[in-house]
Structure 1
Amino acid sequence: MRSTSDPGEASAMRIRTLSRMAKMSAIPLGVGRRMAVAGGLKALGRLTDESSLKLHERTADQLFEVLGGLKGGAMKFGQVLSVYETVLPPPISAVYRERLARLQEAATPEDVRQVLEEDLGPAWQNLFASFDDAPASAASLGQVHRAVWRDGRPVAVKVQYPDAREQLLGDRDLTIFAMRWFTSLIAPELDGRALATDLMDRLAEELDYAQEAEAQTAFRAGFQADPDFVIPEVVHQQGRVLVSEWIDGTPLARIIAAGTQEQRDRAGLLLTRLMFAAIPRTGMMHGDPHPGNFRLFDDGRLGVLDFGAMYRHTPGTPSPFEKWMHIHLAETPEELVRVLRELEFLRPGVRADGAELMELFEHSGAPARTETFRFDGPYLRDTLAGMTSSMSVALSLAFPPDFVHAQRAMGVGIGVLCQLEAEVPFQQEALRWLTESAEGDALSG
């Protein structure tokens, strides 16, 4: 595999990145950006109103012109956008989605065959009864092809783009810059740099298909006895190629677009169960739970794909969802302050107003306090509005070092539940799995 050890090549890559960053910084947001940063959700309301459609069209055109050379970064940027789609009016989100789609070009058959030959050997075709050159779908750093394994099993062949590593490392600074800039426009109350940096770190992990195969195998073992989930078996892995069982089912994006309420609620229930059950069963949490990674079967099972970016939990410590539930189930200001200090969200010596903290978590914690909760756009908007109005209080909190990745995964998962507009017994699922996890820890101790 080609590397960037050549100083001249590395220098040229850096110059290209700096050039594109310069173009990015010249994008004329003008009053729009300053309003968003200074006015939070109040300005966001004006920026996301359909009357500002032309502003977003101009911004999207220039943004994606600058990002035109990215592959993995552009794909991941699209996943960030999908989180905001529930908050943005459909015409606004459609502007960015349509422009982004232009960047997602498939690798050529020659590129794919080059990787297969280099990593599986010159006789790679002997491994397959048939192989479809046309990609079935695109991943962040590669694409998936449909094939038939030599034993007759339908398989999905995930092939990394030939220069994925070089492109990712070379475009890292630009992609972080672009995501941070976009977040400041759309959701100024979020820490765009932390979000973008974590996304790029996780993206770098996705280059390691051996690690992904190991995580997928662990998930399959952990959910093997559960009739509600389908985790495809790893058939073969070598270098930049990962071969898994092919699974069918309806893509979750199609359920979001046109599914029945019964399908939405079923998918929402199983997504919630996956979030809470994964760590007790596997020691990991799916780190990239966007709609493209799930399939709903006609019999109600949920298929789960893509195990490249996983949150790996430290045994013997509270899980991210356990922390989330403890914080949101605190009944008094005094209890909330105590919980936040115990979980290291409040550093020693930092003064905190418990009543203001209760207000900060009021909207986000509604699912934890409700027997059956309906996730939707208004819930997400109210949560963001609550964060903005209490920003000075939020700044007194410090996320533990291992919580940023988990927080993003949890946020994306909850965002997908809102896209589904699913009604879910969230509290019941949370308490069930957190109780089982605590009992398991007690027995193992």
Structure 2
Amino acid sequence: MSDLPRKALSRTAKLASLPLGAAGRATVGLGKRIGGAPAEAVLAEFQRRTAEQLFSVLGELKGGAMKFGQMLSLMEAAMPEELAAPYRATLTKLQDSAPPMPMSTVDTILSRELGKRWRDRFSEFNDKPAAAASIGQVHRGTLKDGREVAVKLQYPGAAEALRADLKQLGRFARSFGALVPGMDMKPLVAELQERIGEELDYDRESQAQQQYADAFKDHDEFVVPRVIKHSPTVIVSEWIEGKPLSSFIANGTKKQRNEIGLKYARFLFSGPKYAGLLHSDPHPGNYRVMADGRLGVVDFGLCARLPEGLPPAIGRLLRLSLTGDGPAIHDGLVAEGFIKPRMEIDPEQLMDYLAPFAEPARDKTFQFNRAWMRAQANRTSDFRSPNATLAFKLNLPPSYLLIHRVWIGGMAVLSQLEAEAPFRSVLEELLPGFADSEAHQ
């Protein structure tokens, strides 16, 4: 058997072990319930063991499994503290690393993309990868002209691995719903399946990265490395030196976390306005804090194309939710396709459901934290509650899919940072329709 099929079988076996393990733990849980153990204790034990196996397996894999793990790690802030605490270090590692591919494979890829004498282009090239993630890894090098560069290579067979992993994950995504209250894993996996082609196209990624680099050239808050050379599976760009954002989540001072959180939010909203793009992969592994305090950003494989900027309807609807105008926000959501014309929804219930989206904009400053994020998740975890029922009635238009992902993922990262800052001022400056709506009140 060749090496590639053997690896594929190994990956499938590891992924297949996840739902089987979950089913076994559920059976044990039922036995404990019959034996008199409290329901809460059984659920906590189920969550703990499921998380232990999930993070262990995902941490060994690349492809769709690793990408799923990175997305799941964003929601660590919404997990129950007794579950999240033991695995926070594992989740943070999941955001930044994966097992590297051997140098022989790196040489094969670069020989094909840059020529057999590719090493002659460099005065230095570090064979040990500086970073490894879901579909590629990065090496540090120095070109003959002295420029330090990052050389990003896509794993061989990444497309096949992504599709196989996501197909397998899709079969049992609901098994892990107990990990994050109110979070449905099925749509998460479906979204990843929809975006496979975009993330695999390094030419497309290079275009987006350069678009951002041009928009923020010599910017006083953000650094985006310029692209030097690219192909469908290799990107050579400027090297940026900085500390991972995840290290400040773990060990940053309150002042540092506040400042980083504000820059992080400003970057997310600045992209559509100045670059016509929305960086749509908000997990901390894509951000570096530079020595001069600027926020460095990497990995532009997933970006929403927004040449006209964010839809002004978002700002108007957010402003309406702050004023408590239920009927007006109901009509606005119908107009944007979030509520289908014949769907009956109580405007007051709708206002209650949308409150968390507007809360960070209600006062001049807002304090994000894990307790707040967990509270928002818990609002939809009880399927007997009106909020959980309402969630099934709302529709997410395709044009808002990545915007919604960034909004939720961004709040999760800010909650991990426990950042407190004037986030409302960011919306007033950078969210179309928000300040305009206030002027017309």
Q: TM-score, normalised on structure 1?
A: 0.83
Pick which of 68-77 and 126-135 moved more: 68-77
How far apart are the structure 1 equivalents of 2:284 and 2:193? 19
Question: Aligned match of 1:159 in 147, 153, 156?
Answer: 153
Q: Quick check: 1:127–1:150 contact (8 Å CA) kept in 2?
A: yes
What does residue 357 of structure 1 align with? 350
What does residue 105 of structure 2 align with? 111
Match of 1:116, SS state, is helix
How far apart are the structure 2 equivalents of 1:245 and 1:316? 27
Aligned residues with identical type, % of pairs: 36
Q: Quick check: 1:86–1:415 contact (8 Å CA) kept in 2?
A: yes
1:65 Cα offset (Å):
7.1
What does residue 404 of structure 2 align with? 407
Question: Aligned match of 1:306 in 281, 299, 306?
Answer: 299
Match of 2:152, SS state, is strand
Match of 1:371, SS state, is coil
Q: Is 2:382 the partner of 1:391? A: no
Rate the CA distance shift 1:65–1:93 in 2: closer, same or farther, 3 A. same
AA aligned opposite 2:395: A
How far apart are the structure 2 equivalents of 1:176 and 1:159? 27
- Deviation track 1:45-91 (CA, whole Å, cap 9, x = no partner) reads 76785xx3xx4454345446766874122321221232222133266
1:385 Cα offset (Å):
2.2
The runs of at least 4 consecutive aligned structure 1 residues that moved more than 6 Å come to 12-21, 31-34, 99-103, 436-439
Q: Quick check: 1:17–1:170 contact (8 Å CA) kept in 2?
A: no
Q: Quick check: 1:141–1:161 contact (8 Å CA) kept in 2?
A: yes
How far apart are the structure 1 equivalents of 2:334 and 2:395? 10
Q: Quick check: 2:159–2:196 contact (8 Å CA) kept in 1?
A: no
1:113 Cα offset (Å):
1.0
Q: Is 2:85 the partner of 1:121? A: no
AA aligned opposite 2:145: D
- Deviation track 1:328-358 (CA, whole Å, cap 9, x = no partner) reads 4352222221222222211112111011111
Match of 1:392, SS state, is helix
Q: Is 2:68 the partner of 1:77? A: yes
Q: Quick check: 1:64–1:100 contact (8 Å CA) kept in 2?
A: no
What does residue 374 of structure 1 align with? 367
Question: Aligned match of 2:142 in 148, 151, 160?
Answer: 148
Rate the CA distance shift 1:424–1:382 in 2: closer, same or farther, 3 A. same
Question: Aligned match of 1:175 in 161, 169, 178?
Answer: 169
Rate the CA distance shift 1:13–1:146 in 2: closer, same or farther, 3 A. closer
- Deviation track 1:260-301 (CA, whole Å, cap 9, x = no partner) reads 111111111111111211111112111111111111123221
What does residue 129 of structure 2 align with? 135
How far apart are the structure 1 equivalents of 2:159 and 2:434? 38
Rate the CA distance shift 1:61–1:414 in 2: closer, same or farther, 3 A. closer
How far apart are the structure 1 equivalents of 2:214 and 2:116? 33
How far apart are the structure 1 equivalents of 2:183 and 2:91? 23
1:24 Cα offset (Å):
3.9
Q: CA RMSD in A?
A: 3.2
1:362 Cα offset (Å):
2.0
Rate the CA distance shift 1:80–1:178 in 2: closer, same or farther, 3 A. farther
Q: Quick check: 1:320–1:407 contact (8 Å CA) kept in 2?
A: no
Q: Quick check: 2:98–2:133 contact (8 Å CA) kept in 1?
A: no
How far apart are the structure 1 equivalents of 2:263 and 2:418? 14
Pick which of 312-321 and 225-234 moved more: 312-321
- Deviation track 1:80-117 (CA, whole Å, cap 9, x = no partner) reads 23222213326645448649969931111111111111
How far apart are the structure 2 equivalents of 1:33 and 1:84? 25
Pick which of 391-400 and 188-197 moved more: 188-197
Rate the CA distance shift 1:137–1:17 in 2: closer, same or farther, 3 A. closer
1:435 Cα offset (Å):
4.5
Q: Quick check: 1:83–1:415 contact (8 Å CA) kept in 2?
A: yes
Match of 2:78, SS state, is coil
AA aligned opposite 1:76: K
Match of 1:363, SS state, is helix
- Deviation track 1:182-233 (CA, whole Å, cap 9, x = no partner) reads 2x12235233211111123334422111111100000111122531111111
Where in structure 1 are there 5+ consecutive unaligned residues? 35-42, 440-445
Match of 2:138, SS state, is strand
Where in structure 2 are there 5+ consecutive unaligned residues? 31-38, 437-441
Q: Is 2:26 the partner of 1:30? A: yes
AA aligned opposite 2:225: P
How far apart are the structure 1 equivalents of 2:122 and 2:239? 14
How far apart are the structure 2 equivalents of 1:68 and 1:196? 17
Q: Quick check: 1:320–1:406 contact (8 Å CA) kept in 2?
A: no
What does residue 190 of structure 2 align with? 197
Q: Quick check: 2:166–2:192 contact (8 Å CA) kept in 1?
A: no
Q: Is 2:411 the partner of 1:417? A: no
Match of 1:402, SS state, is helix
What does residue 40 of structure 1 align with? none
Rate the CA distance shift 1:22–1:235 in 2: closer, same or farther, 3 A. closer
Matches within 5 A, 1:288-327: 288-313=281-306, 315=308, 318=311, 322=315, 325-326=318-319
Q: TM-score, normalised on structure 2?
A: 0.84
What does residue 86 of structure 1 align with? 77
Match of 2:150, SS state, is strand
How far apart are the structure 1 equivalents of 2:208 and 2:323? 34
Q: Quick check: 1:327–1:340 contact (8 Å CA) kept in 2?
A: no
